[in-house]
């Protein structure tokens, strides 16, 4: 059984933003990667992969505190939606 259409669209939008984060990082555009990642997590706070991406991005930019904050945000987001 496939998810409802709106859920599919939301998931596709989140994945698209996540792809843009990694593409920006590959292109060495950290500022754009960060901005897109913030947009991803603001628009799709329950998309766990987005928080994982945020933590990995922070680690790659040598910011372990931000990586932990992203993980904490993910946990809080899941608790609110439960």
Phi/psi zone of residue 28: left (φ > 0), alpha (ψ -120 to 50 degrees), beta? left
Task: List the domain range (segments joined by +) for residue 60.
Answer: 5-81
Amino acid 62: pLDDT? 97
pLDDT digits (tens, 9 = 90+) for 22-80: 999 999 999 999 999 999 999 999 999 999 999 999 999 999 999 999 998 876 665 55
What CATH number corresponds to the domain at position 16? Answer: 1.25.40
What's the total number of domains in the chain?
A: 1
* d(C-alpha 47, C-alpha 39), whole Å: 12
Amino acid 48: pLDDT? 93
Amino acid 23: pLDDT? 98
Amino acid 79: pLDDT? 52
Q: Closest Cα partner for 22 from 62, 2, 49?
A: 49
Asked whether residue 10 carries a pLDDT value surpassing 80, the answer given is yes
């Amino acid at each position: 059984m496939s998810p409802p259409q709106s859920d599919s669209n939301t998931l596709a939008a989140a994945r698209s933003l996540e792809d843009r984060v990694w593409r920006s990082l590959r292109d060495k555009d950290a500022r754009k990667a960060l901005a897109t990642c913030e947009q991803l997590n603001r628009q799709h706070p329950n998309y766990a992969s987005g928080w994982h991406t945020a933590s990995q991005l922070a680690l790659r930019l040598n910011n372990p505190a931000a990586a932990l904050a992203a993980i904490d945000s993910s946990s809080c987001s899941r608790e609110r939606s439960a």
